[in-house]
Chain A
Amino acid sequence: AQTVTQSQPEMSVQEAETVTLSCTYDTSESDYYLFWYKQPPSRQMILVIRQEAYKQQNATENRFSVNFQKAAKSFSLKISDSQLGDAAMYFCAYREPGAGSYQLTFGKGTKLSVIP
């Protein structure tokens, strides 16, 4: 079974600084998808960024970027120029491709605090 591990239960960052959240996963598949979701206190799970395993290029969305190391099965999220609105729980998630494969495997989450 696939597992996703987020080893940092809590992290903090100074406003305007950069922070990296770590995620590792275990799979025997060669093709899959990885996601970072953000869940602020308002509760809604918001997609931050998505990475396809067959793509070597790291995904980037504005201030958010990933460091995807397929051989090491590592998928870290870097947040640059941190803002107060980035404070949230961040979940790393894994999904296998193919129609009919609906299961998202989540990590336990990392709670990020942003210090003004």
Chain B
Amino acid sequence: DTEVTQTPKHLVMGMTNKKSLKCEQHMGHRAMYWYKQKAKKPPELMFVYSYEKLSINESVPSRFSPECPNSSLLNLHLHALQPEDSALYLCASSPGGALQETQYFGPGTRLLVL
């Protein structure tokens, strides 16, 4: 089973709202990722958690705040977003610590900021 789930599927929010995206995997993977993908572009890495610790933050604005409560769950808290933050947000996971680090992606959350 290589399933990564994400909720919600779609989200519309105003620039003053606070919302959260959720990602879950039950494959025992120890690395989890957030990507941002604009239309017709490849995904861009935002954050990486390895063994529940933030390993990589790719200079993402502070209005995006990741959280990894446990090894199966990854959240992305959103606050005071801008219209240019509208995109598809993808979560991924990988086994972690092994050489063959294949990343498995979730279905994404389509975010629209008004």
Contacts and interface: CB of A to CB of B under 8 A. Distances in A.
A44 B106 contact: yes
Interface stretch (B11-19, B35-43, B62-70, B75-83): B35-43
Contacts of A43: 88, 107-108, 110
B102 interface: yes
B111 to A, nearest CB: 12
A95 B92 CA distance: 15
A33 B100 contact: yes
A42 B106 CA distance: 11
Nearest to A92: B42
A15 interface: no
A43 B39 CA distance: 10
B25 interface: no
A110 B33 CA distance: 24
Contact of B50 (A33, A52, A102): A102
A81 B43 CA distance: 28
Given A33-B101, A45-B90, A100 B42 contact: no
Contact of B104 (A47, A101, A107): A47
A108 interface: yes
Interface in A72-116: 89, 91, 95, 97-104, 106-109
For chain A, give the interface size range: 20 to 34
B102 A99 contact: no
A110 to B, nearest CB: 11
Interface in B82-114: 88, 90, 92, 94, 96-108, 110
Contact of A42 (B42, B50, B97, B107): B107
Given A95-B101, A99-B97, A101-B101, A109 B33 contact: no
B24 to A, nearest CB: 15
Contacts of B31: 102
Interface of B: 2, 31, 33, 40-43, 45, 48, 50, 55-56, 88, 90, 92, 94, 96-108, 110
